[in-house]
Structure 1
């Protein structure tokens, strides 16, 4: 595939810097869950149940806070939201290591609520900076960057806690969060394009753009992370049963490479595909993976078809969300998208864990894949609902004025 389309994308003013800052800013964010888990288990000498409670509190906070921060970005701009969330993250990670367990749970929930909205902000700004015809490539490249950050952040957290201890590791995360927030504040990327700023836009009520079609799309995004989280747990479970846990890191890395390749190819296609089609295919291709058996090498090979669809599936949902909402609500919509991804992963972990314990990892692959397909089937009747774009908001402004 020709590289010229990617070169054209990276020649757009501000885009290379935004993507680079997005990569560096996401690494400390992806390290947080692992750092909290290891702190509770290794430093506080508590169980994985208590560690799960802390991470659950953080996840619930992020799920609630993501659309709220997006709405505030839409209303007040990027810098005020980044200033508050950067300060909150710096404060939490600077003192989290010293908190007793009950206070840590409460503080983790508050820190999640005030999480640095780096994922949704980068996507919102990409939608503003990249022309419509290049957005699929932009979001695909962003999904590849997310994969790289998830390959890096948790591994660095493990290395930090095991070699330096949880206190210094959390101090490093505090510094990384502060640098990420300050970097985005200094960069101050636009959240709306010049054309969108120049074009008068009616304020579109949430009930107009938060349509059944958009809710269905968010449900399929949650289904995507449901199947991905379950697949990761099933992969680890299979390798643990075979006594091959030493190779888990390599297996997950190869799986991530599949996603990177798929995202790169998908971004360069002349036309995209419906996210419902991509996510349904990912579910169908995941369901039979467990038939590969207990040999982790065959299992990783069996993950290739579904793995190639990981980044394309997620980037297609971002592209669809950005195209179905007006520019003035894009931040909140991207926040809701982030919440959907969090919810899918959070629901998947206990379900997949219970299936692995009761019936084995192969059934976790099968059940997760079919849950994904069923969710897409439920979404299909709502998918073709009318989207509310910025242009339609402008067009309806005279009618709205005349009825007052």
Structure 2
């Protein structure tokens, strides 16, 4: 079937499936750590607020260090960086697990420094995908990654919860540390054997390609838009800042819906329903990502962001006050349909950012993307929490849609492709 052609191309690229597996495994711990830490700290203190402080400290450390870790990956040995950060991050989680409950005030500090050492698996892998040729295999790689990331958000928390239930909260935190160390080491080993290693900036280099208009790597296509800015500040590269801003807005929109689902489930007195609905949403994203990965031609970023926003807006009329007593079946159906646009949208965004980022600074760019995603989560948590307190579920869904609209408006400002490729634009099939 034609839909499987890009996936066959992906499988044919040397060591790409192995790299993809380890890049995903290397991020498994990120979906489980917050849950494990919440159980750990609440066992110590009995307070969910303090548990949130510890989890937030880890997140803040991760967000601050994202661009720095990406820049280090661009300028030094990636494998050595992965080994060092993996061991330090895992060691920080092990230290938290071993911390006596009476010393819990030290936990936020330890969590913050642990976050600073987060292994840059995410940004390095996305920088690597930008080197995949042909373009159909590259687009399929981004789509598969975005799709399987949804599985991480189901599997990670489940494994942490099982460790808490059958062993203890400290065991769950240790498990997350083991995932982090194993994932970083496995990804480093796979990367060392791959020909898709990121391009390293050389000391004294000017902007990549600045001297002759060509990338220094034979595998990098020439691109006026992907040249590094003259002052070296990567966010000044054409299209990079709008793409990162768009990602922040769409992450805020999706986190907002998570909060709406949780609030509605709690109001109904059925908190377990939140997990079911989030799983339904993720399944919709899985299906959409699989289909999008098999489409031929160039992804239409604006269209995909618009479809996500339409899916978010469909929740407004089925929630209070417009629908005083919504049925879980109707809400679940809307989430499944709207979720089908999420993984394709993220795949298109990551692919576009990989094209626009300067070849020698891609890991740094994706580090900024990770920090922007963290900022989007924080923006949604504060703003939507206030809307839920003073307004309604429908108003919160409306705020989520507003974030989506902002993402679409920013997407309209993003270049469709590097200028050197514009001459072939008319030959692409828009998907």
Normalising by structure 2, what TM-score? 0.83
- CA 1:179–1:387: 2 relative to 1, 3 Å: same
Equivalent in 414, 419, 423 of residue 383 of structure 1:
414
In the TM superposition, 1:2-401 aligns within 5 A as 2-41=3-42, 43-99=43-99, 100-188=103-191, 189=194, 190-192=196-198, 197-198=217-218, 205=230, 206-207=232-233, 210-211=236-237, 213-293=239-319, 294-378=326-410, 380=412, 382-384=413-415
**Change over 3 Å in CA distance of 1:50–1:127 after alignment to 2:** same
Tell me the SS of whatever aligns to 2:3: coil
Q: Secondary structure at the match of 2:197?
A: coil
Moved more, 148-157 or 366-375: 366-375
Cα deviations across residues 30-65 of structure 1 (Å, max 9, x unaligned)? Answer: 211111122112x21332221221122111111111
Asked if 1 retains the 8 angstrom alpha-carbon contact of 2:245 and 2:410, the reply is no
1:268/1:92 Cα in 2 relative to 1: closer, same or farther (>3 Å)?
same
Shift of 1:388: 8.3
CA distance in 1, matches of 2:111, 2:420: 36
Matches of 2:94 and 2:234 in 1, distance apart? 42
**Greater share of helix:** 1
Give me the whole-angstrom Cα distance separating, in 1, the residues matched to 2:420 and 2:109: 39
Where does residue 397 of structure 1 map in the other structure?
none
SS of residue in 1 equivalent to 2:45 = coil
In structure 1, C-alpha distance between the alignment counterparts of 2:417 and 2:398, rounded to whole Å: 34
Residues 232, 172 of structure 1: alpha-carbon distance in 2 compared, 3 angstrom cutoff:
same
TM-score where L is the length of structure 1:
0.88
Q: Distance in 1 between matches of 2:199 and 2:420?
A: 14
* 1:314, distance to aligned residue in structure 2 (A): 1.0
Name the SS of the counterpart of 1:303 in structure 2: helix
Moved more, 70-79 or 275-284: 275-284
CA gap 1:208/1:173 in 2 versus in 1, 3 angstroms: closer
What is the distance in 1 between the residues matched to 2:172 and 2:132?
35
Q: For each residue in 1:191-227, what CA deviation from the matched residue of structure 2 results, as whole angstroms up to 9, or x when unmatched?
A: 3379963479987543466346321111110111111
3-state SS, counterpart of residue 249 of structure 1: helix
Structure 2 unmatched runs, 5+: 201-214, 320-325, 422-431
Distance in 1 of aligned mates of 2:276 and 2:132 = 36
CA distance in 1, matches of 2:298, 2:383: 32
**Retained in 2: the 8 A contact 1:19–1:142?**
yes
Which stretches in structure 1 are left out of the alignment for 5+ residues?
Answer: 391-404
| 1:243-272 CA distance string (max 9 Å, x none) | 232233222111101001111111122223
CA distance in 2, matches of 1:389, 1:53: 48
SS in 2 for 1:23: helix
Q: Distance in 2 between matches of 1:151 and 1:199?
A: 36
Specify whether residues 8 and 58 from structure 1 end up closer, same or farther in structure 2 by C-alpha distance, changes over 3 A only: same
Per-residue Cα deviation, 1:72-102 (whole angstroms, up to 9, x for no partner) = 1110121121122011112111110243333
Are the counterparts in 2 of residues 23 and 146 from structure 1 also a CA contact under 8 Å? Answer: yes
Question: Is the Cα contact below 8 Å between 2:9 and 2:136 reproduced in 1?
Answer: no
- Quote how far apart the aligned CAs of 1:387 are: 5.3
**Change over 3 Å in CA distance of 1:356–1:138 after alignment to 2:** same
SS at match of 1:7: helix
Judge which range, 138-147 or 237-246, deviates more. Answer: 237-246
**C-alpha displacement at 1:308, in angstroms?**
0.9
